[in-house]
Structure 1
Amino acid sequence: MKFLKRSLRILLFLVVLVFVSVWLYSKTYKPNYSGELELKNISKEVTVYFDDIGVPHINAENQKDAYVALGYLHAQDRLWQMELIRRLAAGRLSEIFGKKLIRTDKFFSGLGIEEASTKTILNLEKNSENYKMVVAYLNGINQYIAEGKTPIEYTLVGVEKENFTIKDMYNVFGYMAFSFAIAHKTDPILTEVKEKLGKAYFNELIGVENKNLTLIKNEINEEIKGDLAREMHRLFEGLPISPFIGSNSWVIGADKTKNGKVIFANDPHISFAQPSVWYQAHIKTPNYELYGFHLALVPFPLLGHNKDYAYGLTMFENDDVDFYIEEENPENANQYKTEVGFVDYDLVKKRIKVKDEQDVVYTIKVGRHGPIMNDIIDHLDDERPIAMQWIYTKLENKILDVAYEISHAKNLSDFKNGASKLHAPGLNMMYGDAKNNIAWFASGKLYKYRDSLYTKTYLNGASGEDEILEYLDFKDNPQSINPAVNYVYSANNQPDSIVGMLYPGYYLNEDRAKRIVSFLEPKNDWTKNDVAKMINDVTSPNAPIVAANLIKSINVSEFSVSKKKAISILGDWKGNFEKHEVGPVIYNRLVYEFQKNTFADELGKGYNQFVNTPFVEKVLPVQAKRNQSIWWDNVTTKDKIETKQEIVTSSFKKAFSFLENQLGENVDNWTWDRVISVEYKHAVGEVPALRKYFNVGPFVTTGGDQVINNQIYNIDSTGYYKVKAGPSTRRIVDFSDVDNSLAIIPTGQSGRVFSKHYKDQAKKYLNGEFVKMKINQSEIEKSENILIFKPTKGN
């Protein structure tokens, strides 16, 4: 008994000790939002006002001081995020997470990002203003590393902090550029369709690219001067950092708004993670002001506004990655064939450090088209050498100039000049200003091949016939300045023409674009509140059309009352993805079964990759409308050719049976909120014991795939829709009331788990609410939390 009592006392003591330790850690190791700190390399005092969502409003006498402070503050809230993204881009995740990430490291280290960064840095103009600001920002980060409180993640995974360099910054740009690309998920599967199934199957698929298009129109007017597929999927599914995916933006001209001023809206779609991808900061000096949204390790915001102009971005989705089949010398595998004979590969030796394991050493062969993918992707089931040509590593990189110039523009012309310097990734640069200019620029270096070449399959690397013939001038890029319709927009959809052709790309289906145009076109009295409602819209214009085309082919003659009710609900559904709706549940499951019955028999192992590409979303509405298709001949039933009616009826029966087992016999209870959820995952939240502390959620959410409030998920066998991506922020800037511009992010401003701003925006975001982006100085100065940076004595 005494032993038991003593044991209980010891156990109680340990529990209290752990509790007290965690409590002390939470009090000690959280961001510092008030007080005074000394900071090196600033010339004068910098005052930082933290608002009620943790956004720093940095008041400095000059920009250099402001960027030192920004670096320190950004690191204070997001150092672990910075650590992960620099390691991902350089292939260094295995150092901290072990051998399970060797494949990811091998892939990213082999893309040539680091080599491109090194080359670019050698050519930087060291006396330029943007370079000086970058150095100041990095200096602030590294001061925090030396003097600030270490985030708990470093302790949990057992890694030491290291100073950040400008190379780390450029590596982040490289990761961002690659994560925009779609070719690596689409081209390999289309190549297999062409090579293994034949032209009939292939041509039917690619024929959808010129159908059901809502085209963005080019229109340039004067400025108002008033002064491989599966492995790629596997690699990206395991990333602890958010890849970029899609986006919406629209800018409404003064003549279409109630108050006669431009209204700007933007919501970039990015994979969800914790912390959120964007870090907000407001810089104010005597000669500069901007409220910006920053990527980790990037000092100049890609989204921003002040009282004069607002800008943002969506993904262009142009094709800037091409794959080539090389022909190697049978007598020397380190040579490949060109039109002038065999030439040597460059052989690049790589080393990956692995936690608690021996280093992994391997060699990459690099030719004129880029690295040989067989060397960097394990389990690539193709003996042919496949090279990846990527415009980002092929051409001169001015992306730092782009970020600096668009965030320091004085007018539309300055902004356009900055946008014109972008070579990759392709971005739609959206612009609106207080002088009533609106504009859209599709930025990125575009190029031409020979007319008959289809670039979404593997190209011939040896002949010289499949090479880039010409790079286009920026004046030929799609763009629209002050168009007659009084609005510009982008939803990753196809531009109408580029030098007289539909430019190849991986543009997303027309759903969001069509819905945006249906809102903007008829209305001429837009307000900020109207735009806030629109940006949260969850209705698909095309899903009911797809459903109706499928319903037409269902044989209901022997259906039960419940089955007929399900068909009736689907037939009456207006495409709304609200929580209480039954239609989206039936629709998504029917689509799953229909696509499986249509494509799985021919595609085999490649099916799962195919149905989770943006390409299949363009295929679906066309396929649902067809009366005949080669894909409906089930190759496993050799003595019979299936009809559309058989395929669709069978698909519905399977969908109904599944939903009945999953959600019960009462069709009215099959509501959307029972199957859709979102969880914002932290890298260490994958450890079960830490999940509830570091992850945010899971939550029931609203919205659906390819509605304006875009909630992106896989349609798979589970029947549950776990949202993996969506609006990374929603922003609205009304130039009739700039001081009250609105924004929201999915979780919170801080990446520090003990900060009160770790997840304080999560519920508001899910409810479609907003918080104010404060730029009114008198309001800012009422902040309760004020941090003052003082120059170090003798600085």
Structure 2
Amino acid sequence: MKVLKKLVFFLLIITSLLVLGYFIFSNLQKPTYKGEISFEGLKDKVTVFYDEAGVPHINAQNQEDAYQVFGYVHAQDRLWQMEVVRRIAAGRLSEIFGKELIRTDKFFGSLGIEEAAAKTIHNLDKNSKAYQLALAYLKGINQFIKEGTTPLEFHLVGIEKEEYTLKDMYNVFGYMAFSFAAAHKTDPLLNEIKQNLGADYLTELGIQTEHGQLIKNARKPVVQAQMTAAINKIYEKLPVPSFIGSNSWVLGPNKTKNGKVIFANDPHINFSQPSVWYQSHIKTPDFELYGFNLALTPFPLLGHNRNYAYGLTMLENDDVDFYIEKDHPENQNQYKTVDGYKNYKTYSRTIKVKKEKDSTYQVRVSQHGPIMNDIVEQIQDERPIAMKWIYTHLPNQLLDVCYEMSHANSLSEFKRGVSKIHAPGLNVMYGDAKDNVAWFGAAKLYQFRDSLNTKVYLDGTTGKDEIINFLNFGENPQAINPDWGYVYSANNQPDSVAGKLYPGYYLPEDRAKRIVTYIEEKEKFTKEDVSKMMNNVNSLVVKEVIHTALKSISENDLNTKEKEAVQFLTAWDGNYYKESVAPTIYTKFIYQFLENTYEDELGEKAFLQFLDGAPLQKKMIAIQMNREASVWWDNINTKEIKEDKKQIVTASLKEAVAFLEKQLGTDLNTWKWKRVLSVEHEHPIGKAGGLLRKFFNVGPFETNGGNEVINNHIFRLNASGIYTVVGGPSTRRVIDFSDIENSISILPTGQSGNRFSPYYKDQAQKYLEGKYIKMKLNQEEIQKSENKLEFLPK
């Protein structure tokens, strides 16, 4: 008995010590939100008030001091996020995550982002305000690295903190720009369809072709899709989110109840923890801005003050092209050009790998760009395939762009800054207190010869497939104070550019159509109306798709359960509510429809890549359903039968219902959307699962929403019938110039990336419920904050 008592006493002591140790460690890890910090290099005292959401409101006497302090407070909440994102373009993820990231490092490290950054930095105007404030921001980050606590993640993966440079900042710009692009996920697949199936198949995917170069109706399944598959796998391994899409609309005075502009924006980005955006409010005697920043960037891509607001969506233009080069028959270090053979530029890269030997590889670069065969070993093509990306081929002014957008004093100044964007392509949205609304399709757009199809591989040897000219910004799609009183963007195809529809990877009309219909149906809007609209989960297009599909189905061909499923679909109002049944049936039906239509020609692997190529797959749902005749209907594996639309649609419904009965039971009333859809915000370390998942990840949660509704909760169609939301609104912002001090926003999880911060996930439930927090601008209200942190000059 005495031994047992001693053992219990001993265990209590150990438990108490562990609890005490965790309490001490967690308190040491927390960011500093109140008190005083001596800060090297400040000219004057800077005061930071943290509001209830953990947003720092920085009050300084000059911008240099403000940006130094901003760098510090940004780092203490998001240093781990900064560390991960700066390593992507540099090919340094394997150092901390091990050999599984070697392919990712090899891919991103070969795109030329670092080389382009070095060239850009060398040419920067060192006297410009943008350059000086960027250095001030970096100085603040590096001061935190020297004096602040080391985040838990650094201890867990076993790395030391390193100071940050302008090159790291440009690496973030480069990764952001590439994550916006879609061609590298789509063009290789389309090229294989061109080679193996022929013109008719490609044309029905909306891709115009030059018939003479195609193998007509070869009807050979596309079984490879090697580059597309490999790049999708690389993206799956990324520990930080990529950009997907977005919504924005800006209502002019004639569309609002209070007669002032209302600005709305919710950029769609893959979900992660921490959230992609970091909020801050900087105020000096000559400057004020409430902004949303990416990790390691000093100037926000989304922002507002009392005078104007701006935000963005993806333009979805095509800024990546693939070229087939031809090696010299006797010298593989040379390739053919219109001017004769030229030497490839070659360089060797070494990847440091955690607990493994270094990995070394070589890359060849032609006049068009890196040879993808050297980077993606899965490519089984003897022809060298080069990737030309406009981001690395033209001068980079993104630092100036971000500075000028955040420091504009007028619409004309803002437009001048936006005009400098070369890549990635962005829809930049604008509204101001002077009743102006504007939309700019911002990118360096270019033209090829007529009839050239840039969504398949181009010929790198003849000079005929090269860019013939770049367009002036004045020819870009844009609208300033249009007669109809508002501007909007939902990654939809813009109006014609230079008399033509500009090639791109535009998303289907679903969200754009819903936004326009919503705006047109209501005469006057309030901030509350707009905030409610941002959470709308209704699709007008799904109802049209169902109506068209059911016309091809005969009731006599259906059993009782299938007829019941049809009743749910017919009665559906198009809302993706978590308690609804119809979205579950519709989503599985659409998967079966796409599988029965495309998989036989594409083959299993390429069909999976088709599903992952979201813009193409999503656009084809309504287009294909509206066709009565199609080369894709006939299943090439059933040689005795020639299937038609009725057979495909009917079989798809039957298969969907049979599958759902096995998955969810025979009572259709229980087939609720929440049973198959969930969302979880994954931390890079939380991906390991187990206790780390529970500790670092936020969720999983049930949620309203679905693909291509305004409250866009993006998931991949798949055979399992279980859908994990991978991305959606990365923030929702509503700015009302009639009540600027009460403008609102929300983040998917929280402001801080520090697990021990009270702001790590405090917004998660509010986000799911469609609620918002105030973006404070009123100085008197801000100064009532409980948390006040003062930075004093050393």
> Is the pair's TM-score, using the shorter chain for normalization, greater than 0.5?
yes
How far does residue 557 in structure 1 lie from its aligned partner after superposition? 1.1
Counterpart for residue 724 of structure 1: 726
Q: Is the counterpart of residue 402 in structure 1 residue 368 in structure 2? A: no
Q: Is the counterpart of residue 201 in structure 1 residue 201 in structure 2? A: yes
What amino acid does structure 2 have at the position aligned with 1:392?
Y
Matching of residues 206-225 of structure 1 within 5 Å:
206=206
Structure-1 separation of matches of 2:42 and 2:340: 58
Is the 8 Å Cα contact of residues 184 and 229 (structure 1) preserved in structure 2?
A: yes
Counterpart for residue 498 of structure 1: 497
What amino acid does structure 2 have at the position aligned with 1:697?
G
Counterpart for residue 652 of structure 2: 651
What amino acid does structure 2 have at the position aligned with 1:358?
K
Once the two structures are superposed, residues 174-199 of structure 1 have per-residue CA deviations (whole angstroms, 9 ceiling, x without a partner) of: 00000000001110111000101111
How far does residue 673 in structure 1 lie from its aligned partner after superposition? 1.3
Is the 8 Å Cα contact of residues 740 and 774 (structure 1) preserved in structure 2?
A: yes
Once the two structures are superposed, residues 26-78 of structure 1 have per-residue CA deviations (whole angstroms, 9 ceiling, x without a partner) of: 11111100000001111000000000000000000000000000000000000
How far does residue 7 in structure 1 lie from its aligned partner after superposition? 5.5
What amino acid does structure 2 have at the position aligned with 1:618?
K
Q: Give RMSD over aligned pairs.
A: 1.3
Structure-2 separation of matches of 1:208 and 1:240: 36
Counterpart for residue 60 of structure 2: 60
Q: Is the counterpart of residue 318 in structure 1 residue 314 in structure 2? A: no
Counterpart for residue 639 of structure 1: 640
What amino acid does structure 1 have at the position aligned with 2:718?
D
Counterpart for residue 743 of structure 2: 741
Structure-2 separation of matches of 1:787 and 1:66: 13
What amino acid does structure 2 have at the position aligned with 1:596?
E
How far does residue 523 in structure 1 lie from its aligned partner after superposition? 2.5
Give the SS at the match of 1:370.
Answer: coil
What amino acid does structure 2 have at the position aligned with 1:700?
E
Counterpart for residue 663 of structure 2: 662
Is the 8 Å Cα contact of residues 317 and 425 (structure 2) preserved in structure 1?
A: yes
Q: Is the counterpart of residue 629 in structure 1 residue 634 in structure 2? A: no
What is the TM-score of this pair, normalised by structure 1?
Answer: 0.96
Structure-1 separation of matches of 2:116 and 2:11: 56
Once the two structures are superposed, residues 477-522 of structure 1 have per-residue CA deviations (whole angstroms, 9 ceiling, x without a partner) of: 1110000000000000111110000000011100000000001124
How far does residue 280 in structure 1 lie from its aligned partner after superposition? 0.3
Give the SS at the match of 1:457.
Answer: coil
Does 548-557 or 535-544 show the bigger shift?
548-557
Give the SS at the match of 2:435.
Answer: coil
Identity rate, percent = 59
Counterpart for residue 776 of structure 2: 774
Pair 1:360–1:207, CA change in 2 (3 A): closer
Once the two structures are superposed, residues 731-771 of structure 1 have per-residue CA deviations (whole angstroms, 9 ceiling, x without a partner) of: 00000000000000000000000100000000000000000
Is the 8 Å Cα contact of residues 208 and 618 (structure 1) preserved in structure 2?
A: no
What amino acid does structure 1 have at the position aligned with 2:134?
V
Does 134-143 or 194-203 show the bigger shift?
194-203
What amino acid does structure 2 have at the position aligned with 1:621?
A
Counterpart for residue 612 of structure 1: 612
Structure-1 separation of matches of 2:507 and 2:146: 45
Q: Is the counterpart of residue 477 in structure 1 residue 473 in structure 2? A: no
Counterpart for residue 214 of structure 1: none
Q: Is the counterpart of residue 383 in structure 1 residue 382 in structure 2? A: yes
How far does residue 773 in structure 1 lie from its aligned partner after superposition? 0.1
Is the 8 Å Cα contact of residues 274 and 749 (structure 2) preserved in structure 1?
A: yes
Structure-1 separation of matches of 2:354 and 2:87: 13
Give the SS at the match of 2:632.
Answer: helix
Structure-1 separation of matches of 2:11 and 2:454: 66
Matching of residues 563-642 of structure 1 within 5 Å:
563-604=562-603, 605-613=605-613, 614-642=615-643
Structure-2 separation of matches of 1:471 and 1:208: 22
Structure-2 separation of matches of 1:158 and 1:370: 35
Is the 8 Å Cα contact of residues 347 and 365 (structure 1) preserved in structure 2?
A: yes
What amino acid does structure 2 have at the position aligned with 1:500?
G
Structure-2 separation of matches of 1:383 and 1:683: 36
Structure-1 separation of matches of 2:2 and 2:164: 57
What is the TM-score of this pair, normalised by structure 2?
Answer: 0.96
Give the SS at the match of 2:583.
Answer: helix
Once the two structures are superposed, residues 91-132 of structure 1 have per-residue CA deviations (whole angstroms, 9 ceiling, x without a partner) of: 100001110100000000000000000000000011111111
Counterpart for residue 682 of structure 1: 683
Once the two structures are superposed, residues 184-216 of structure 1 have per-residue CA deviations (whole angstroms, 9 ceiling, x without a partner) of: 11101110001011112111212599xxxxxxx
Matching of residues 500-515 of structure 1 within 5 Å:
500-515=499-514
Is the 8 Å Cα contact of residues 368 and 388 (structure 2) preserved in structure 1?
A: yes
Matching of residues 228-627 of structure 1 within 5 Å:
228-604=227-603, 605-613=605-613, 614-627=615-628
Counterpart for residue 672 of structure 1: 673
What amino acid does structure 2 have at the position aligned with 1:463?
T
Unmatched runs of 5 consecutive residues or more in structure 2: 210-226
Q: Is the counterpart of residue 708 in structure 1 residue 717 in structure 2? A: no
Structure-1 separation of matches of 2:11 and 2:631: 69
Structure-2 separation of matches of 1:554 and 1:233: 36
Matching of residues 162-201 of structure 1 within 5 Å:
162-201=162-201
Counterpart for residue 217 of structure 2: none
Structure-2 separation of matches of 1:656 and 1:410: 58
Structure-2 separation of matches of 1:383 and 1:239: 29
Is the 8 Å Cα contact of residues 207 and 455 (structure 2) preserved in structure 1?
A: no
How far does residue 269 in structure 1 lie from its aligned partner after superposition? 0.2
Give the SS at the match of 1:206.
Answer: coil
What amino acid does structure 1 have at the position aligned with 2:31?
P
What amino acid does structure 2 have at the position aligned with 1:506?
Y
Counterpart for residue 218 of structure 1: none
How far does residue 4 in structure 1 lie from its aligned partner after superposition? 6.5
Give the SS at the match of 1:557.
Answer: helix
Structure 2 counterpart of 1:694, from 693, 696, 699:
696
Once the two structures are superposed, residues 670-706 of structure 1 have per-residue CA deviations (whole angstroms, 9 ceiling, x without a partner) of: 1111111100000110222211110000000111100
How far does residue 661 in structure 1 lie from its aligned partner after superposition? 1.1
Structure-1 separation of matches of 2:3 and 2:591: 61
Give the SS at the match of 1:615.
Answer: helix
What amino acid does structure 1 have at the position aligned with 2:728?
G
Structure-1 separation of matches of 2:14 and 2:195: 65
Counterpart for residue 157 of structure 1: 157
Give the SS at the match of 1:342.
Answer: strand
How far does residue 554 in structure 1 lie from its aligned partner after superposition? 2.1
Does 536-545 or 377-386 show the bigger shift?
377-386
What amino acid does structure 2 have at the position aligned with 1:124?
L
Structure-1 separation of matches of 2:521 and 2:704: 26
Structure-2 separation of matches of 1:460 and 1:182: 20
Give the SS at the match of 1:732.
Answer: strand
How far does residue 417 in structure 1 lie from its aligned partner after superposition? 0.3
Structure-1 separation of matches of 2:361 and 2:347: 8
Structure-1 separation of matches of 2:307 and 2:232: 42
Counterpart for residue 110 of structure 1: 110
Give the SS at the match of 2:41.
Answer: coil
Give the SS at the match of 1:58.
Answer: strand
Is the 8 Å Cα contact of residues 232 and 612 (structure 2) preserved in structure 1?
A: no
Once the two structures are superposed, residues 614-671 of structure 1 have per-residue CA deviations (whole angstroms, 9 ceiling, x without a partner) of: 1111111111111121111111111221121111111111100111111111111111
Once the two structures are superposed, residues 354-395 of structure 1 have per-residue CA deviations (whole angstroms, 9 ceiling, x without a partner) of: 011111111100011000011111212322211000000000
How far does residue 11 in structure 1 lie from its aligned partner after superposition? 4.5
Is the 8 Å Cα contact of residues 553 and 649 (structure 1) preserved in structure 2?
A: yes
Counterpart for residue 34 of structure 2: 34
What amino acid does structure 2 have at the position aligned with 1:515?
R
Matching of residues 114-129 of structure 1 within 5 Å:
114-129=114-129
What amino acid does structure 2 have at the position aligned with 1:633?
D
Structure-2 separation of matches of 1:623 and 1:338: 41
Counterpart for residue 753 of structure 2: 751
Give the SS at the match of 1:293.
Answer: strand
Is the 8 Å Cα contact of residues 208 and 622 (structure 1) preserved in structure 2?
A: no
Structure-1 separation of matches of 2:289 and 2:322: 41
Is the 8 Å Cα contact of residues 72 and 140 (structure 1) preserved in structure 2?
A: yes
What amino acid does structure 1 have at the position aligned with 2:92?
R
Structure-2 separation of matches of 1:122 and 1:725: 36
Is the 8 Å Cα contact of residues 208 and 619 (structure 1) preserved in structure 2?
A: no
How far does residue 235 in structure 1 lie from its aligned partner after superposition? 0.6
Give the SS at the match of 1:281.
Answer: strand
Is the 8 Å Cα contact of residues 208 and 453 (structure 2) preserved in structure 1?
A: no
Matching of residues 88-103 of structure 1 within 5 Å:
88-103=88-103
Does 3-12 or 96-105 show the bigger shift?
3-12
Is the 8 Å Cα contact of residues 202 and 208 (structure 2) preserved in structure 1?
A: no
How many residue pairs align between the two structures?
774
